[in-house]
């Protein structure tokens, strides 16, 4: 059994070290030095070239280096019937929770306004809002959204979540399905998007969705760029209906130099770094899952091909 590794540029060596620490006997083949394609039974990949994974006739499981699997699902030549496992590991979850808490607190405490005041040398208080009067809405209550919700509740925010199926999380107002979407948006002063990218969620944050938010709401977009109709977001920011946005993911990445978001005064922008997979903890998850698979036990966090996540 060999594991194929194809990481982001520059990260291969740290992954190699972490995987071999988790399993010193591992037969690891680092892209593009693959050897005999017939040896490859498992693949751990981030953005493999389209069509590349069909070259391995004995491939049994594809592990995504990220939580999102849209980089695999968009490959029309992905081998059929090979299970895909998304990344679930404590480093990725902790990183996302940190990033979202930082962003929610930033907007909650008017830091964009204070930055603007500072540029103009204005010394002025803005009324403080207690967290229980700030309604935070989380789109996606899975591994990442669920952890974010729990920590926001611990900070006393008024938290709601929206998911496909009903979810019971302590202290979180629940909304689900298309019928729950607009009522959920209506009570989201700060909206966090932590959905996977699927046919159903592409373009979900459009003019209609922004119009359903309370006036002056802030968006924290950390799922995937194509969730947001960028022209509609820009229009909502221009009219002031949307007060601010933290944008970590974009329709086109890297963000083109001509994008108006780079210089927008109401936008906080980061280069798709809300959370990164941590090689050490992720390798433990992958090796454990390979052992489960070899022992005939069900894989953990396999993607449901019908749902697409």
- CB of residue 283 to ligand GLV, shortest distance in Å: 15
Residue from the set 190, 192, 222, 247 that interacts with ligand NAP by CB under 6 A? 222
Cβ-proximal residues to 185 (8 Å cutoff; 6+ apart), any chain: 137, 191, 209, 212, 213
Which among ligand NAP, ligand GLV, none contacts residue 210 (Cβ within 5 to 8 A by kind)? none
Is 176 an active-site residue? no
**255 Rama class: left (phi>0) / alpha (psi -120 to 50) / beta:** beta
Give 160's Cβ-side CA count (13 Å radius): 22
For helices 90-108 and 111-119, what crossing angle results, to 10°? 60
Out of ligand GLV, ligand NAP, none, what residue 152 binds, judged by CB under 5 to 8 A for its kind, is none
The answer to whether residue 66 forms part of the interface with ligand GLV (CB under 6 A) is yes
Closer CB to ligand GLV, 92 or 287, in the complex: 92
Residue 165 contact partner, candidates ligand NAP, ligand GLV, none, CB within 5 to 8 A by sort of partner: ligand NAP
Active site residue 224: yes
R_g (Cα) of the chain, nearest Å: 21
Vertex 131, ends 91 and 248: CA angle to 5°?
40
Q: Determine the Cα–Cα distance for residues 163 and 31; give it in Å rounded to an integer.
A: 37
From candidates 48, 68, 137, 226, binder to ligand NAP by CB under 6 A:
68
What residues numbered 48-67 form the site for ligand NAP, per CB under 6 A? 66-67
Peptide bond into 254 cis (omega under 30): yes
How far is residue 242's CA from residue 235's CA, in Å, rounded to a whole number?
9
**Mode of pairing for the β-strands spanning 242-247 and 2-6:** unpaired
Cα 293 to its chain centre, rounded Å, is 26
- Interaction between residue 224 and ligand NAP (CB under 6 A): yes
Residue 89 as a binder of ligand NAP (CB under 6 A): the answer is no
Among 11, 174, 272, 301, the one annotated catalytic: 272
Six token digits for residue 265: 């005064």
CB count, 10 Å around CB of 193?
A: 24
* Residue among 107 and 227 whose Cβ is closer to ligand NAP: 227
Neighbours of 107 (CB within 10 A): 23
∠ CA 69-70-73 to the nearest 5 degrees? Answer: 90
- For the bound state, the minimum distance from the C-beta of residue 71 to ligand NAP, rounded and expressed in Å, comes to 10
Q: State yes or no: residue 62 binds ligand GLV (CB under 6 A).
A: no
Answer for which of 68, 140, 145, 226 binds ligand GLV (CB under 6 A) is: 68
Neighbours of 92 (CB within 10 A): 23
Catalytic residue among 108, 224, 227, 293: 224
Closer of 18 and 87 to ligand GLV (Cβ): 87
Instruction: Provide the minimum distance between the beta carbon of 202 and ligand GLV in the complex, in angstroms, as a whole number.
Output: 15
Binding site for ligand GLV (CB under 6 A): 66-68, 87, 92, 277
Q: Please list the active-site residues.
A: 224, 272
Binding site for ligand NAP (CB under 6 A): 66-68, 92, 96, 140-145, 162-165, 167, 194-198, 200-201, 222-224, 248-249, 272, 274-275, 309
């Amino acid at each position: 059994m060999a594991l194929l590794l194809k990481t982001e540029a520059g990260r291969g060596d740290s992954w190699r070290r972490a995987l071999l620490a988790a399993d010193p006997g591992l037969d690891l083949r680092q892209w593009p030095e693959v050897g005999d394609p017939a040896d490859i039974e498992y693949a751990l990949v981030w953005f493999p070239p389209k069509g590349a994974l069909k070259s391995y006739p004995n491939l049994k499981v594809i592990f995504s280096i990220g939580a999102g699997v849209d980089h695999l699902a968009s490959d029309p030549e992905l081998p059929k019937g090979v299970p895909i496992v998304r990344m679930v590991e404590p480093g990725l979850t902790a990183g996302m929770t940190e990033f979202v808490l930082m962003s929610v607190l930033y907007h909650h405490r008017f830091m964009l306004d204070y930055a603007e005041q500072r540029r103009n040398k204005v010394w002025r208080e803005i009324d403080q809002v207690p967290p229980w009067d700030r309604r935070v809405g989380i789109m996606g209550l899975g591994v990442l959204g669920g952890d974010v919700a729990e920590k926001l509740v611990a900070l006393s925010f008024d938290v709601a979540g929206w998911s496909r199926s009903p979810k019971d999380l302590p202290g979180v107002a629940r909304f689900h399905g298309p019928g729950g979407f607009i009522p959920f948006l209506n009570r989201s002063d700060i909206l966090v998007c932590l959905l996977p990218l699927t046919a159903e969620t592409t373009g979900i944050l459009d003019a209609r969705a922004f119009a359903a938010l309370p006036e002056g709401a802030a968006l924290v977009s950390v799922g995937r760029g194509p969730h947001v109709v960028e022209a509609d977001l820009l229009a909502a920011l221009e009219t002031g209906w949307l007060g601010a946005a933290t944008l970590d993911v974009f329709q086109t990445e890297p963000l083109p130099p001509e994008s108006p978001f780079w210089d927008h005064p109401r936008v906080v922008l980061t280069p798709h770094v809300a959370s990164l997979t941590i090689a050490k903890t992720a390798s433990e998850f992958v090796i454990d899952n390979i052992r489960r698979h070899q022992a005939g036990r069900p894989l953990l966090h396999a993607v449901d091909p019908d749902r697409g996540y």
